[in-house]
């Protein structure tokens, strides 16, 4: 991808204590590149390294990224991404036509928890879907009419998330997949019913 070396150079110079882009980040970017258009007003929740926003910011009308980690917000700003520190999208009153989220989706055992920023980036809470469910309950107020959400899910926790989605106010479909040695990742596209 064009600009990938430049991103990694800037990331390594400016970003410590931040979740590094991995296969899940790549899948979110791949799905977003297919979905985004120049008129979109985009919100990336949990932007982390800024990897996804970095490659999308010039492909839409406006892009904002959030993260709870102050190091991530500082990192994204150094990459030229408008970003604010908040939990999910709390305090943001604007509406967006495209919302992106690569949530933490692992359920960490107590002995695995270290209380650092990396833990926050990967611990999805109860059953690995607690953060995703909280996000989906809250984010509908930021979704414009006919707006779309792209959400990443893992085969380890997807059945639980699917149960939640079947009871929710969202229509959804899997639009991209990425098979890894130990799991399969899914990019879900959601819309309000």
For residues 89 and 91, give the distance between their C-alpha atoms in angstroms, rounded to a whole number: 6
DSSP symbol at 18: S
Higher pLDDT, 22 or 111: 22
Average pLDDT, the chain: 90
For the chain, domain boundaries: 4-192
pLDDT in tens, 118-138: 656 665 677 878 899 999 999
What pTM does this model have? 0.92
Domain 4-192 has CATH 3.90.1150.10: no
In this prediction, residue 84 carries a pLDDT of: 97
- Of the listed ranges 5-9, 34-38, 104-108, 150-154, the least confidently predicted one is 104-108
For residues 105 and 132, give the distance between their C-alpha atoms in angstroms, rounded to a whole number: 8
In the predicted model, what is the mean pLDDT of residues 31-53? 96
């Amino acid at each position: 991808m064009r600009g990938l070396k430049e991103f990694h150079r800037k990331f390594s110079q400016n970003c410590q204590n931040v979740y590094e882009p991995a296969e899940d980040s790549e899948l979110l970017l791949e799905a977003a590149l297919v979905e985004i258009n120049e008129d979109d007003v985009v919100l990336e929740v949990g932007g982390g390294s800024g990897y996804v926003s970095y490659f999308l910011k010039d492909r839409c009308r406006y892009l904002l990224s959030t993260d709870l980690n102050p190091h991530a917000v500082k990192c994204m700003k150094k990459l030229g991404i408008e970003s604010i520190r908040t939990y999910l999208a709390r305090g943001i009153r604007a509406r967006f036509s495209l919302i992106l989220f690569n949530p933490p989706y692992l359920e960490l055992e107590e002995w695995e928890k270290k209380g650092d920023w990396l833990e926050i980036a990967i611990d999805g809470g109860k059953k690995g879907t607690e953060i995703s469910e909280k996000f989906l309950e809250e984010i509908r107020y930021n979704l414009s009419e006919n707006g779309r959400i792209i959400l990443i899910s893992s085969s380890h926790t997807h059945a639980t998330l699917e149960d939640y989605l079947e009871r929710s106010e969202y229509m959804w479909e899997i639009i991209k997949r990425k098979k890894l040695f130990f799991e399969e990742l899914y990019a879900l596209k959601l819309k309000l019913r």
